[in-house]
Structure 1
Amino acid sequence: MQIAYSLEAFLYLLSYSVNLTNLTFQDSKRGDFREMFIHHLTTNLLTLLSYSFNFTRVGTYILYLHDFSDVPIDISKMFNFLKLKIPTAIGFSLIVVCWIYARMYVFGFYVIWSVIFDTPHSEFTSITSGSELYYNTYKSIFVVALTILYLLHCYWLKLFFRMGILLVRKFETHDLSEHKDGEEYEYIRERANSLSEYDLQRLDEDSDIAMKIKDAECYYGNKIAKYFDGTAFKGFVKPGGYEVSVGWWQIEFNDGDIEDWDEKEIQAGRQLYKDVYLDENGEKNEVLTPPRRQNISQSGAGRGRVKID
């Protein structure tokens, strides 16, 4: 047991140390950057302390609980990257079941409960006063660290439920904490909402949202469309410059922007149409189709428009 726990603890410490470096110095941050940073620090602290105090049995149990729910996560991500929707949906269902059972029920109502109420009393006492300061101190550290992990599990379970709602409504799966190109849905939505609250301040060319639009690009003939398809943020680009809208604000297009596009009726303030097409290589892509020009003029975009030149 000691050898197995030592090997498992070493692998965890090594992987979390590498992840901490990536979380800190990578160019684009995850949507749950702070939560992952706290999780890695807390896990490393628990691993080192449990090894120091020879709590290998409960430490091994906690590690295996986390490994149990990590397996369907990795499998579901693999299916999602391969764009296999049905296996991804099945894997996502397994994630939720394993997560609730292992990390919410067993970890919360058995592990943490046992650490608080069922742990045997320590024989270590203060030499001078005979108090139980030493026992209470190290026990409190374990309780606080385990509680932090449990709260983080609750946060990620909330993200799973939101992903489940998206899966039911659109039969699409998106990792809300780590989606493609290193950006994150939650982070962009928060930035978009904050911009609307602060009177839609101008974005710099190097801002996070601007970089997101540059990364999410697809080609429509000789035109380029870059957009973030979220509930709070949509954008459009043309050669030489582009404009984006935040919140419910409509996108404004200049002369010549909608030439060669299929005209479709849409009310001002409503979201744009999404077209699926095949490019010259036969690959399927999606693009947002702009509304008709007469509807654009009704959108009142002068106030709610954010322009990036």
Structure 2
Amino acid sequence: MIRQTLIAATVLFLAAGQAIAAGALRSHVAVTTDVVTVGDFYPDAGRFAATPLFRAPDLGTSGPVPAAMVADRARAAGYLEAATDGLRHVVVERLAVTIGLPQLEDAVREALATSYPDAEHELLDISLRGFSGTLLADAGARDPLTVTSVTWNRSSGRLTAAVRIHAGQHSRTASLSGRAMEMAQVYALARPLDRGAVVRAGDLIVKNVPRSRLTARHVERPEEIVGLAARRGIQADRPLREADFEPPLLVKRGAKVTLVFKANGLTLTTIGQALANGADGDIVDVLNLQSRRTVSGTVRAHDQVEVGLVHSRIAQLQETN
């Protein structure tokens, strides 16, 4: 990944240089090697392009070079068309790759993905010790940063790794230790939810927890709970469990409801008072406010109870017995 990003940036820089008119001197030169060539200064140098003119600056540094000196050396090397193009100086930059803990963690992650292909490496929570600050790596190296070995205990998460950083003509090595914990994505609330409140998709956020602590009760798919009601008050940012939720109440005790009687193809409605709470499909007792009789019915919608279906079910049970 480090190598690909650098190559892309270098290609864009060189492509911009190609747009300069033939024979023109670049005002800014960026190189990935320890020498600067005629072709680095002059994009149309042809067969003289690979001829070295100067040593490149140190990794990650830049400095000015007199344009007259560049032109003189280029002509001495055989590229007679070399000119200053009105420039006094040319800035020469030695590209480098900055290596710090984020880059080391990414490299170790990739190494673990190769050695342990069944692990979800994108969800690994990696923390390393044994390296501080940053180092500059050679941008011209095939692999500026290489993980030479990695050992990982998946059950405890402990790992050790050895890395090589290619810094110009020299290489630096580092021995690292730390942990790589396999994580799982579960859902939590973005805000507290009161008892009885219905969960909506916008209320949920993704939270990573160690896979070793994951249980079947944790909510891993939002569709498991969206549309359900909180069984009790729930705090924000806490991993959710299916047991935290229940179907929302459509009928509340003491509230007026519509009683729907179905019998012999006829449908009649009247007003009743719920004697118990009920969710969709629950059977609840309702006081018929007109006849003052208590009937049992099935909750079908908000403040609506069907009565005829209950009697049919009871009759079917009696026939079975």
Output the TM-score relative to the length of structure 2: 0.24
From the CA coordinates, give the structure whose radius of gyration is larger: 2
Structure (1 or 2) with the greater strand fraction: 2
Structure (1 or 2) with the greater helix fraction: 1
Q: Relative CO higher for 1 or 2, CA cutoff 8 Å, sep ≥ 6?
A: 1
